């Protein structure tokens, strides 16, 4: 009974993570399409709130991954990596335009290495 309840909790968390990532991608696209500064600021605030939600889910997933109740930790680790990938983009939006190009390159490089490590791990 407890195992089934835990599995239901995991499924709900995974569903919220998927919805959060969709919302993040939608907001990110809107930010890149708009040129109105006030609209960009509002969208960036919404993006930050979405990242905070995802980070709370990541913390919960870390807790579950550390516990011995769950035997198959692969889905937990996959969702955690997804959230961490999304979180890479957060600092880019809190900076000014002057330094955004260098940050884009920094985070793009980090993301590239992360993807490479993930692919090597899968092979």
**95 falls within a domain:** no
pLDDT (tens digit, 9 = 90+) per residue, 73-111?
A: 888 888 888 888 877 765 454 444 444 555 566 666 777
If one counts the domains in the chain, the total is: 1
Range with the poorest average pLDDT among 15-19, 69-73, 108-112: 108-112
Q: 19 is in which domain, residue-wise?
A: 2-87
**39 falls within a domain:** yes
* Contact by Cβ (8 Å): 54, 79: no
Look up the pTM and report it.
Answer: 0.68
- Residue 60's pLDDT is what? 92
Question: If 0-12 CB within 10 Å is exposed, 13-18 middle and 19+ buried, where does residue 105 land?
Answer: exposed
**109 falls within a domain:** no
């Amino acid at each position: 009974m407890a195992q089934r309840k835990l599995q239901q909790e995991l499924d709900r968390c995974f569903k919220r993570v998927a919805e959060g990532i969709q919302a993040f991608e939608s907001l990110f696209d809107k930010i890149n399409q708009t040129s109105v500064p006030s609209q960009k600021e509002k969208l960036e605030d919404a993006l930050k709130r979405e990242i905070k939600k995802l980070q709370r889910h990541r913390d919960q997933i870390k807790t579950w991954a550390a516990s011995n109740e769950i035997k198959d930790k692969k889905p937990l680790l996959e969702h955690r990596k997804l959230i961490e990938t999304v979180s890479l983009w957060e600092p880019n939006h809190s900076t000014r335009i002057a330094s955004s190009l260098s940050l884009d390159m920094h985070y793009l490089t980090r993301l590239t290495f992360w993807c490479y490590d993930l692919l090597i791990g899968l092979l």
